[in-house]
Amino acid sequence: MEPIKYYSTNLKADEVTFSEALLKGIAPDKGLYMPKEIPTFTRVEIKSFSQKEYYEIAFEVIRKFLVGQINDDELLDLVKDAYNYDVPLEKGFENKYVMRLDQGPTASFKDFAARMMGRLMNYYIKKENRKLLILTATSGDTGSAIANAFYGLDNIKVLVLFPDGEVTDRQRKQMTTLGKNIQIISLKGKFDDCQALVKESFADSDLDYLGLSSANSINIGRLIPQIVYYFYSFSRLRMGNENDDVIFSVPSGNFGDMMGGVFAKHMGLPIKKFIISVNENDEFTSFLNTGNYSKIEPSKNCLSSAMNVGHPSNLARLVALYGGVMNEKGEISKSPDMDKMRKDIYSSSISDQVTKDMIKEAYDEHSLLLEPHGSVGWKGLMDYCKEFNIDQDQLCISLETAHPAKFPAQIVEILKFDPELPVSLEGLENKTEYFDNLDNNYSDFKNYLINNYK
Ligand SMILES: *Cc1c(COP(=O)(O)O)cnc(C)c1O
């Protein structure tokens, strides 16, 4: 079979293979890479997943996008190594479940993508005998997931920027205590500022010699692994009838997670509806309702801090899948099919107060321990089921994207107990931190890059 080609959502760059898209991160025209065709599974293949382990489903999904780009034995080794932890599915009530994506080494769902992307990048650059500097902006969890996923690799260095004061102590320590090939900057600004500096440096030809690459959710190599858990959860929870389908609720910020689900749907997974649950940054909810898009600048600070995004970086991909064109600034030159989008997607914006109330309600009524992101997802699902009178037998799965122990202050305030720490997060308190402070301005950042990476 011919390898799948990847095009840029801005439509002004050459098509590339998977490995090129992976190593470039962002296209030269600042667009995002998308597969020209989305491979599909038959119903029979999807049914067979119920007999497979998580890493085997990952193998089946990922190899479809990498035809001719890696051989099966090597890919199988990579997925086995990346997915060596549990993916619990916990019942809330009726046929409504929470999928806990928090059992990886940094206790957030970002481990799923980062671990696979790190292994794939390492595979390709070793083959080509190249070196890379990964630049990544984080609002909390990406940074630690990327730093952990790449820690200790020979040919890859990682530089993470986080917004000063906007990540929790624990999130910061997960990045700053590593050392070796991992360097961290605390920026006097917001997450969007971090992301803007990263984007500007990619577009700066003076820095070409550094071999810059991105590991943010804009990298197609992060998106593809996020398709897998949609197939996995369905394979474990479906009742076995031909007409089974599922509703997913996805707590969303930059829309990488939900794009994985949208791809899964296009690949043949019978997804009846996606609920895109957001915090008070409701630019997408309004867009879906009105067809008019306007970014929220600056983004609002909400409890679910990893979702404080005023312009989701993956939105251009969603627009592309529905036949539209949106550039990196959020300007739409061709409108997507909004009716089709509304048929597939519902969106709910959840305030901080309601997020807190739902943490309490889910715990008191269903013994579900949720942190703020998962609470936004669960509440979005509750809203949808109520508004559309969803049958109680309907399979619904809400994603929990981080471990409650990553947000101890909120949990203690609301539930009056301290959630137990997963093994992966123990012992951080006593480790030494290394990071640099920078002002929010591009020329300082550029000098930093030039001086630190010769
Ligand atoms: C990153 C993150 C999200 C948002 O995911 P996107 O792919 O950016 O939409 C939600 N919850 C947590 C805990 C996260 O770290």
Condensed to tens digits (0 to 9), the pLDDT of residues 261-309 reads: 999 999 999 999 999 999 999 999 999 999 999 999 999 999 999 899 9
Pocket of ligand 1 (CB under 6 A): 108, 110, 140-141, 217, 251-257, 306-307, 373, 401-402
Atom of ligand 1 nearest to the CA of 313: 8
Residue 394 is given by DSSP the state S
Over the chain, what is the mean pLDDT?
94
**124-129: average pLDDT:** 88
**373-398: average pLDDT:** 97
Q: Rounded to the nearest whole angstrom, what is the distance from the C-alpha of residue 192 to the centroid of ligand 1?
A: 14
What strand order describes the sheet that includes 246-251?
Answer: 89-93, 96-100, 395-400, 246-251, 271-278, 345-349
3-state SS class at 356: helix
Q: Rounded to the nearest whole angstrom, what is the distance from the C-alpha of residue 108 to the centroid of ligand 1?
A: 8
Q: Rounded to the nearest whole angstrom, what is the distance from the C-alpha of residue 253 to the centroid of ligand 1?
A: 6
pLDDT over 90 at 259, yes or no: yes
Task: Specify the DSSP element, H or E, that contains 96.
Answer: strand 96-100
Atom of ligand 1 nearest to the CA of 257: 7
| Pairing verdict, β 156-163 and 182-188 | parallel
Torsion of CA 97, 98, 101, 102, to 10 degrees: -140
Residue 374 within a domain: yes
Write the pLDDT tens digit of every residue in 107-123.
999 999 999 999 999 89
Q: Rounded to the nearest whole angstrom, what is the distance from the C-alpha of residue 139 to the centroid of ligand 1?
A: 9
pLDDT score for 427: 85
Cα separation, 220 vs 216, whole angstroms? 9
Residue 260 within a domain: yes
Residue 357 within a domain: yes
Identify which of 170, 252, 407 to mutate to test ligand 1's pocket (most ligand atoms within 8 A of the CB): 252
Cα separation, 445 vs 361, whole angstroms? 45
pLDDT over 90 at 218, yes or no: no
pLDDT score for 217: 65
**410-436: average pLDDT:** 91
pLDDT score for 213: 83
pLDDT over 90 at 131, yes or no: no
Residue 170 within a domain: no
Q: Pick from 139, 179, 259, 210: which is nearest to 452 by CA? A: 210
Atom of ligand 1 nearest to the CA of 251: 10
Instruction: State in Å, rounded, how far the first CA of the chain is from the last one.
Output: 41
**∠ CA 391-398-137, rounded to 5°:** 150
Identify which of 98, 109, 192, 376 to mutate to test ligand 1's pocket (most ligand atoms within 8 A of the CB): 109
pLDDT score for 216: 65
Atom of ligand 1 nearest to the CA of 255: 9
Beta partners for 332?
326
Atom of ligand 1 nearest to the CA of 371: 13
pLDDT interval class at 243 (50, 70, 90): confident
Q: Rounded to the nearest whole angstrom, what is the distance from the C-alpha of residue 23 to the centroid of ligand 1?
A: 22
pLDDT score for 330: 94
Min mean pLDDT across 127-131, 188-192, 229-233, 297-301 is at 127-131
Q: Rounded to the nearest whole angstrom, what is the distance from the C-alpha of residue 307 to the centroid of ligand 1?
A: 6
Q: How far lies 355's CA from each of 352, 387, 414, in Å?
A: 5, 18, 11
pLDDT score for 2: 83
pLDDT score for 426: 84
Q: Rounded to the nearest whole angstrom, what is the distance from the C-alpha of residue 59 to the centroid of ligand 1?
A: 23
Going by alpha carbons, the residue nearest to atom 1 of ligand 1 is 306
**42-66: average pLDDT:** 96
Residue 97 within a domain: yes
pLDDT over 80 at 439, yes or no: yes
**158-162: average pLDDT:** 96
Q: Rounded to the nearest whole angstrom, what is the distance from the C-alpha of residue 454 to the centroid of ligand 1?
A: 33
pLDDT score for 4: 95
pLDDT over 90 at 319, yes or no: yes
Atom of ligand 1 nearest to the CA of 259: 7
Q: Rounded to the nearest whole angstrom, what is the distance from the C-alpha of residue 69 to the centroid of ligand 1?
A: 29
Structurally, how many domains does the chain consist of? 1
Min mean pLDDT across 40-49, 228-237, 378-387, 427-436 is at 427-436
Residue 344 within a domain: yes
pLDDT interval class at 351 (50, 70, 90): very high
Q: Rounded to the nearest whole angstrom, what is the distance from the C-alpha of residue 138 to the centroid of ligand 1?
A: 10
Beta partners for 246?
271, 395
Question: For residue 291, with 0-12 CB atoms within 10 Å meaning exposed, 13-18 middle and 19 or more buried, which class applies?
Answer: middle
Cα separation, 100 vs 131, whole angstroms? 35
CATH of the domain at 366: 3.40.50.1100
| Pairing verdict, β 132-137 and 156-163 | parallel
Beta partners for 165?
none
Query: What percentage of the chain carries pLDDT values higher than 90?
Result: 81
**391-409: average pLDDT:** 95
Domain that holds residue 271: 89-104+223-422
The identity of residue 366, as a single letter, is: H
Instruction: For CA atoms 173, 308, 379, 399, give the dihedral sign.
Output: negative
